[in-house]
Amino acid sequence: MDEFERLAALHEYGLLDTPADEELSAVVRAAAVVAGVPTATLNLLDADRQCQLTTTGFAGADSPRQDSLCNVVVAGGEAVYTRDASADGRFAASPWVTGVLADVRFYASVPLTTPEGHVLGTLCVFHDQPVDLDRTRLDALHDLAIVVLALFERRRQARLFADLAAETEAQRELAARYAGELEVRQELINAVHETAGVAIVACDQDGHLTLFNRTARAWHGLEADAGLDPDQWSARYHLRAADGITPLNADDVPLRRALRGETVENVEMVIAPEDADPIRVLCTGRALRRADGTPLGAVVTMSDITAERTGREDIADRERLLASMLDTTTDACVATDSRGAVTAWNPAAEAMFGWRAAEAFGRRLTDLIIPERLRAAHDQGLARRAAGSEARLTGLVEVPAVRRDGSELQVELSLGSFTWRGERRFHAFLRDVTERAAARARLAAANVELTEANAELDRFTAMVAHDLKSPLTTITGYTELLAERDDERERVPLAAIGRAATRMRVMIDDLLDYARATHEPLDLRPVDAGETVDLLVDEMDPERSVRARVTRDVLPPLWTHPTLLRQVLANLIDNAVRYTAPDVLPRVHVSAQEGPAGTTIRVTDNGIGIAPESREDVFDLFHRERTGDGYRGTGIGLSTCRRIVERHGGRIWIEPGSERGTSVCFTVPNPVALVAS
């Protein structure tokens, strides 16, 4: 690989010393997650330095290329992985390994190779501890490197498109200079209405038309005809000389001149369609060539300068349109000079504030609609903005205003400035939001009341649970004392009392769990779902653990509340083991499927199953399926699970098992999806 060509390709992408966008940073974070390490970086290797474009887990910086671990990857063009760099002869002496710059042990790096074979740099993951990296994760790093190259290419294409847009904008500014003598009020009108577009036409090296953009088709009233000879262009598309009368000579057509290699800049001509008004245009064009200099064709842009001749009429039409819009809008529109004197006051302003336009013109806004307590601050702010010492107000703000009768209202204000004959002036749109502000205040008060009610509910729940459990403890204690008496007649009813007390205690605990699932704050963090399942299995009732077999796949970390996730998994695994036929050995398997929006967890069993028509009802509070004798529950567990999952932004549902039994599935969104929602 030629180093000069590699460096040229690197600089062509324009990536060095420029901040990375969020997409590249996201890929680097994904690489760290894939490798299961805290640190990753996107390295670009220039002639004598390593530029860390974006990093995760540490602060990136430039460093000498000779010290770079990734120099091996760039030189060889192949991915490199070492479990312990200190034991690898290629890296053991590097300051990144010896402790001078870092204490790297695990190191894996994949090349960022362009379609032409140039290695621009690497996508690198590392850790200060030895780490094993399987083939699957190394392949995933290769896939992420392909994504990085695609983002590089998109960035390069965006830069090229921006250059073309800048060239087009230059032509638009050139046309605007011809209208320089028009009234300065054009600025205000142009702020409301879009300007006319630019026509673009092109041909190939043989003179066949290849492009008429939308504006060109509209002006000419025709499509680009690739079968025409250049000698026919002038007649076919009704081209006239600058006088608007003389047919344009075939050799003088701007596109043909550009094709011959001539300089075409600010050439004026007229397009005179048979069934439309003529359009006077200013043309600029050039020949198109490949990198090796061979011709590709030519392109010409045309700007409409008809407004130079008919500008005053056009401005009058636009003023009438603007006046009509301002007269019919429901928002008040007010304009003032630099002193705050009213120069515009539309009918909506009359209705909103009670002042007629004739009464408002020339009077200072302070005397009309500004509450007395705010007038001094308003005048000071106006003076600063008129002098240009304070930035203009952006966005929408809510401020108080006053009507003619002295009553106050709340208005939503959008403020802008413009120049009129050298003086800075202001215009504003105002909307009456008095009722909306009142509704917002009522909502805030209701939220405070709701928060207090929830806190009171938590206290009430704890108190009720305590008050209910205390007599249950007494009942259980006396039942156990009575059971010690050797009386066969009492044994059966005492056992029934004990079982009823136990069920009551379980129901109280389940209700407390349900209350906590509703009100406990969500402290989201990465949680090892596999470890959670293992701990639940270890803590399972010995009698059940002997009968049941609970297995799991490798489960990814979940962005969730640790205690609430444990509560969901405990409920689902307990149900899976409990609701199994007596002659069947319970089998429970926990699996996961990752997707772009999050992870789906499935708890699959070989139990008695749930009828299709009941798969939604079982999530209702206190709902219990008719499962026959021997299966006991409170009807609260699955309802608690749904409440927890939905608070995390996910959903929970039931599917039939592969052969028999049930799969209970729930989703946990990833952090990106949570932010988006």
- Sheet of 662-669: strands edge to edge? 549-552, 587-594, 598-605, 662-669, 652-656
Please name the residues in contact with 323: beta carbons below 8 A apart, sequence gap of 6 or more.
Answer: none
DSSP code at position 2: -
Which tokens belong to 16? 């060095």
Which tokens belong to 597? 């929006």
Number of Cβ within 10 Å of residue 609's Cβ equals 18
Which tokens belong to 316? 């009058």
Q: Which residue has the tokens 């049930």?
A: 662
Q: What number is the average pLDDT over the span 283-304?
A: 93
- pLDDT tens for each residue of 71-90: 888 888 899 999 999 999 89
Q: Identify the weakest region by mean pLDDT among 6-10, 121-125, 402-406, 634-638.
A: 634-638
- pLDDT tens for each residue of 129-188: 999 999 999 999 999 999 999 998 888 888 888 878 888 887 888 757 755 665 655 353
Which tokens belong to 452? 């207090």
Whether the CB-CB separation of 210 and 204 falls below 8 Å is answered with yes
What pLDDT, on the 0 to 100 scale, is given for residue 543? 67
DSSP string, 226-243: TT--GGGHHHHTTEE-TT
d(CA 172, CA 215): 14
d(CA 432, CA 373): 20
Q: Identify the weakest region by mean pLDDT among 166-170, 243-247, 428-432.
A: 166-170
What pLDDT, on the 0 to 100 scale, is given for residue 192? 27
Q: Considering only CA atoms, which of 97, 99, 101, 100 is closest in space to residue 130?
A: 97
Q: Identify the weakest region by mean pLDDT among 227-241, 323-337, 345-359.
A: 323-337
Mean pLDDT of the chain: 83
Q: Considering only CA atoms, which of 192, 421, 370 is closest in space to residue 360?
A: 370
User: Packing angle between helix 562-578 and helix 488-519, nearest 10 degrees?
Assistant: 140
What pLDDT, on the 0 to 100 scale, is given for residue 191? 33
d(CA 574, CA 552): 15
Whether the CB-CB separation of 111 and 79 falls below 8 Å is answered with yes
What pLDDT, on the 0 to 100 scale, is given for residue 156? 84
Residue 469 has pLDDT above 60, yes or no: no
Higher pLDDT, 36 or 619: 36
Higher pLDDT, 109 or 393: 109
Paired residues of 650 in beta bridges: none
Vertex 127: Cα angle to 124 and 133 (nearest 5): 70
pTM across the whole model: 0.34
What pLDDT, on the 0 to 100 scale, is given for residue 196? 40
The Cα-based distances of 294 to 160, 204, 206, 229, 574 in angstroms read: 21, 12, 12, 21, 76
d(CA 369, CA 406): 9
Which domains are present in the chain? 3-162 (3.30.450.40), 196-310 (3.30.450.20), 522-668 (3.30.565.10)
Radius of gyration of the chain (CA): 38
Give me the torsion for CA of 154, 157, 159, 160, rounded to 10°.
Answer: 180
Residue 493 has pLDDT above 50, yes or no: yes
